Amino acid sequence: MNTKVVMLAWTLMGLICGFTGVARSQDFNYIANPPYVAVSPTTVIPDGLPYCGTGSGLKLICYGPSFIRKAYNFPSNLDGTGQTILIVDAYGSPTIETDLALFDQVFNIPAPPSFTIYCPQGCPNTSPNNKLHGPLGWSVETSLDVEYAHAMAPGANIVLVVAASSTGDAINAAEAAAITKYPGSIMSQSFGIGEFLIQGNQVQMMQAHRNYLAAQAAGITVLASAGDFGAANAFGLGLKLIFGTIPNASFPASDPLVTSVGGTQGDPYTDPGVTTLSCPANTLCSAGLATFTGPCTSANGFRVSPCTPVGYGAEQVWNEPFFAPMSTGGGAPSLFFSAPSYQNGLNLSARGTPDVSYNAAIHGGVLVANSTLIPGVSAFFIVGGTSAGSPQWAGIAALANQLAGHSLGFLNPAIYRLAQTSHYASDFHDITIGNNQMPGTTPSESAGAGWDLASGWGTPNVANLLPDLVACATTATCP
């Protein structure tokens, strides 16, 4: 079975789970099943980067932490020391501790000062064959979230907050406990549900909103992924006629107290499987998002000596039809929330998402260690989706808190103030190319200059952004 078909099957399983959960009148099931592809055992990691072979024979661009850090210009003098990042996931992963240790070993990252698994309702023991709630998908999510929040802020403490199930009620209960226990932290949520699915289930949504009010009062920064199903939050297959024509945001990213993270991909973007395996000495080469230098040698079609990451290439809105249906960044007006004050001047009548963006490509995805998907085998997977952006922006928030010497808390007012100053061009990569129309659906939001519903304010130039973000969050005037 080829990679595209495998991913489609996994995605449909997750979506069916989500729709099944809507049947209850006051609860719903969050979906977390980031798109992923198994890396071929013949790929040499990390010396093979930025190219990986897959089990199906595809050659895909793949990134480790050093490429991402260079592309987005993470500073070398900040590491998140003294900060705490909360990673919220249902079920967690039974192998997350060994997977994180392997990830750190391969990519030469120091272990976090502390790694805590916090299960307020008791740590669940769920069969991986449970199709209703998709614990296997959550295990991939857990690996991605923990490993990449840590990679971007290796000096921060990591707390994996494990909910007893993927229902809105269970997630809300876990978050409420974590908010009380960890004031001044940063909370990442790489899950969501299309607002059109909530319908009569607004009790759970309002409970979540009360959590975010409590988080704001406790000085906690809250982030969430904007979704992987385009402006319609639908997948345009059998449900197209019902759900494929309504633009709507993903919740909890649509909550006005949450920083919503959308998706990008490299520009230029090559067809999956068609890659250039030659980067001569003293030559600047590009894999889209990241640039690097050679000489990089190869054997049997795969790298066996590493390219050297240099910096940023270019980006466009994440939209990969090859990997449909889970292939397109979320972003649309909310069906429930009016435009918050920080979005004044953007001609919005409703809360618009995303606020910011980050790399979400699958062909251009990040390498994640996981030994739950293939029992007993420690393997690497190329993982994409907006799920990758929320934990890495959480790492950025940890660096900002470290620089400030205290928690900055709710970031959106500062982000929007900063983005409307002359420093915007140096602090963000403004994404002006592409749209988030899911194949088979009608709604589409396009990128343009400044803020837009496809990419928000864009992606970060972290070293430039941090001091300006701190200034805008702590002083009466921005730079």
Closest among 38, 109, 42, 105 to 80, alpha carbons compared: 109
User: CA separation (Å) from 200 to 171, 195, 205, 206, 442?
Assistant: 18, 11, 10, 12, 24
* 3-class DSSP assignment, residue 343: helix
Give residue-wise pLDDT tens across range 318-336: 999 998 777 899 999 999 9
Give 286 or 255, the one with higher predicted confidence: 255
Most confident segment among 53-62, 122-131, 252-261? 252-261
Asked, for residue 104, whether it belongs to a domain, the answer is yes
CA distances from 152 to 41, 288, 435 (A): 26, 20, 28
Would 248 be classed as within a structural domain? yes
pLDDT-derived band at 137 (thresholds 50, 70, 90) equals confident
Structural domain includes residue 400: yes
Instruction: Report whether pLDDT(126) > 90.
Output: no
Q: Sorting pLDDT into bands at 50, 70 and 90, what band is 27?
A: confident
Task: Decide if 51 is inside a domain.
Answer: yes
Residue 379 belongs to some domain of the structure: yes
Task: Report which of 261, 239, 252 is spatially closest to residue 354, judged by C-alpha positions.
Answer: 261
Would 49 be classed as within a structural domain?
Answer: yes
Asked whether residue 479 is assigned to any structural domain, the reply reads no
pTM confidence score = 0.92
Domain count, the chain: 1
Dist CA 176 CA 213 (whole Å): 11
pLDDT tens, position by position, 78-113 = 999 999 999 999 999 999 999 999 999 999 999 999
pLDDT at 21: 36
Domain range for 137 is 3-474
pLDDT at 1 over 60: no
On the question of pLDDT at 476 being above 90, the answer is no
Over residues 287-322, the pLDDT tens digits come to 899 999 988 766 655 566 678 999 999 999 999 999
Reduced to 3 states, what is the DSSP secondary structure of residue 459? strand
CB proximity list for 162: less than 8 A, separation 6 or greater: 89, 90, 91, 92, 117, 118, 119, 123, 124, 174
- Assign residue 204 the CATH number of its domain: 3.40.50.200
pLDDT, position 300 = 57
392 and 358 Cβ atoms separated by less than 8 Å: yes
Average pLDDT over residues 49-71: 89
Backbone φ and ψ of 22, nearest 5°: -70, -15
